[in-house]
């Protein structure tokens, strides 16, 4: 996964400094709905430019946010200086080997899970349960949904950021991975690509086996999904780029989804 830092450092220079979005507050609201009101100790994995961490801290939580891209950490730290009243800290590092003090009520991973192999994901989830979560802690996770990415394979579009960028998408049906490629208009030689694994909910359930976590809830765009009663092509998962899950410890009494693997 050596490609991750240079790709996102370059992408950040093309995309520019991120600005707060409604999505950041929607994510923070998910934590409040699923986990509880402030104050909570929250660990955010893959913090990007820091806008979601700031929105979460604005609800009264203490947030530690880890990000591998030095360019993105720089943006995040600049943003934090504009909010000295908040309890938020940004850490530049790889969350597979970073050392942190203390444990957390909630670990979040927004729009990034699936980078690397299945074994990489299991290793990360095992670290979450063994090192970072309190006994009653939970994880809130965005998971890329395979069907929309597959349907968008072959698409090419132009978007305006700091520079005008071409975005090309592809999807491998064998490995269930998407590839998202960017380059400045007229400079395809400078193209950079990111790739991530997509998981159907049943595949995610299999991935969780042995990690100490299980699915307690699943939703798309804030709407709960009952996986016992999907309606074919009308199901929200069909059109979703990603879905969101609440993961709890496997032995927890928290509400258990009948969605996957409950028998």
Q: Are residues 138 and 230 located together in one domain of the fold?
A: yes
pLDDT band for position 252 (cuts 50, 70, 90): confident
User: Is residue 255 in a domain?
Assistant: no
Q: Are residues 87 and 118 located together in one domain of the fold?
A: yes
Tell me whether residue 130 is exposed, middle or buried, using C-beta atoms within 10 angstroms of its C-beta: 0 to 12, 13 to 18, 19 or more: exposed
Whether 36 has a pLDDT exceeding 70, the answer reads yes
| pLDDT 10s digits, 172-201 | 999 999 999 999 999 999 999 999 999 999
pLDDT band for position 254 (cuts 50, 70, 90): low
| pLDDT 10s digits, 197-214 | 999 999 999 999 999 999
Q: Are residues 111 and 214 located together in one domain of the fold?
A: yes
Q: Taking the CA atoms of 113, 78, 56 and 93 in sequence, report the sign of the dihedral they define.
A: positive
Whether 15 has a pLDDT exceeding 90, the answer reads yes
In the prediction, which pLDDT does 226 show? 85
User: Is residue 62 in a domain?
Assistant: yes
Mean pLDDT of the chain: 93
Helix H, strand E, coil C: the string for the chain is CCCHHHHHHHHHHHHCCCCCCHHHHHHHHHHHHHCCCCCCEEEEECCCCCHHHHHHHCCCCEEEEEECCHHHHHHHHHHHHCCCCCCEEEEECCCCCCCCCCCEEEEEEEEEECCCCHHHHHHHHHHHHHHHEEEEEEEEEEEECHHHHHHCCCCEEEEECCCEEEEEEEEECCCCEEEEEEEECCCHHHCEEEEEECCCHHHHHHHHCCCCEEEEEEEECCEECCCCCCCHHHCHHHHCCEEEEEEEECCCCCCCCCCCCCC
In the prediction, which pLDDT does 227 show? 75
In the prediction, which pLDDT does 122 show? 97
User: Is residue 261 in a domain?
Assistant: no
In the prediction, which pLDDT does 263 show? 35
Structural domain that includes position 155: 149-194
Whether 143 has a pLDDT exceeding 60, the answer reads yes
In the prediction, which pLDDT does 232 show? 78
Q: Are residues 189 and 75 located together in one domain of the fold?
A: no
In the prediction, which pLDDT does 253 show? 65
256 vs 1: which has the higher pLDDT:
1
The pLDDT of 134-150, averaged and rounded, is 97
Q: Are residues 131 and 46 located together in one domain of the fold?
A: yes
- Domain CATH code at residue 51: 3.40.50.150
User: Is residue 78 in a domain?
Assistant: yes
Q: Are residues 161 and 65 located together in one domain of the fold?
A: no
What span, in angstroms and rounded, lies between the C-alpha atoms of 199 and 45?
19
User: Is residue 259 in a domain?
Assistant: no
Whether 258 has a pLDDT exceeding 80, the answer reads no
User: Is residue 256 in a domain?
Assistant: no
Q: Are residues 180 and 67 located together in one domain of the fold?
A: no
User: Is residue 257 in a domain?
Assistant: no
User: Is residue 25 in a domain?
Assistant: yes
Whether 75 has a pLDDT exceeding 60, the answer reads yes
What phi and psi, each to the nearest 5 degrees, are found at residue 17?
-65, 125
The pLDDT of 147-175, averaged and rounded, is 97
pLDDT band for position 224 (cuts 50, 70, 90): very high
Q: Are residues 129 and 57 located together in one domain of the fold?
A: yes
Q: Are residues 190 and 205 located together in one domain of the fold?
A: no
Q: Are residues 154 and 88 located together in one domain of the fold?
A: no
| pLDDT 10s digits, 114-134 | 999 999 999 999 999 999 999
Q: Is the pTM of this model over 0.75?
A: yes
Q: How many domains does the chain have?
A: 2
| pLDDT 10s digits, 228-239 | 776 777 789 999
Q: Are residues 107 and 163 located together in one domain of the fold?
A: no
What span, in angstroms and rounded, lies between the C-alpha atoms of 164 and 104?
40
Q: Are residues 185 and 213 located together in one domain of the fold?
A: no
């Amino acid at each position: 996964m050596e490609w991750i830092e240079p790709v996102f450092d370059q992408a950040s220079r093309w995309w520019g400094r991120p600005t707060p979005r409604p999505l950041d507050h929607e994510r923070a609201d998910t934590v409040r709905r699923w986990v509880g009101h402030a104050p909570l100790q929250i660990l955010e994995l893959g913090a990007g430019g820091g806008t979601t961490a700031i929105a979460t801290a604005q609800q009264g939580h203490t947030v530690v946010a880890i990000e591998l891209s030095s360019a993105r950490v720089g943006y995040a730290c600049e943003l934090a200086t504009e909010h000295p009243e908040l309890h938020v800290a940004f850490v530049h590092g790889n969350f597979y080997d970073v050392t942190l003090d203390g444990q957390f009520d909630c670990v979040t991973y927004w729009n990034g899970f699936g980078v690397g192999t299945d074994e990489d994901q299991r290793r990360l989830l095992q670290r979450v349960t063994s090192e970072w979560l309190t006994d009653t802690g939970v994880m809130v996770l965005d998971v890329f949904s395979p069907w929309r990415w597959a349907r968008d394979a072959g698409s090419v579009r132009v978007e305006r950021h700091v520079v005008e960028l071409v975005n090309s998408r592809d999807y491998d049906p064998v490995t269930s991975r998407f590839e998202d490629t960017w380059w400045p208009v007229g400079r395809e030689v400078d193209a950079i690509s990111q790739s991530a694994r997509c998981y159907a909910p049943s595949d995610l359930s299999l991935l969780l086996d042995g990690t100490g976590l299980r699915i307690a809830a699943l939703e798309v765009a804030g709407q709960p999904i009952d996986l016992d009663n999907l309606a074919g092509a009308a199901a929200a998962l069909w059109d979703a780029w990603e879905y969101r899950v609440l993961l709890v410890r496997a032995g927890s009494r928290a509400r258990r989804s009948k969605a996957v693997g409950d028998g």
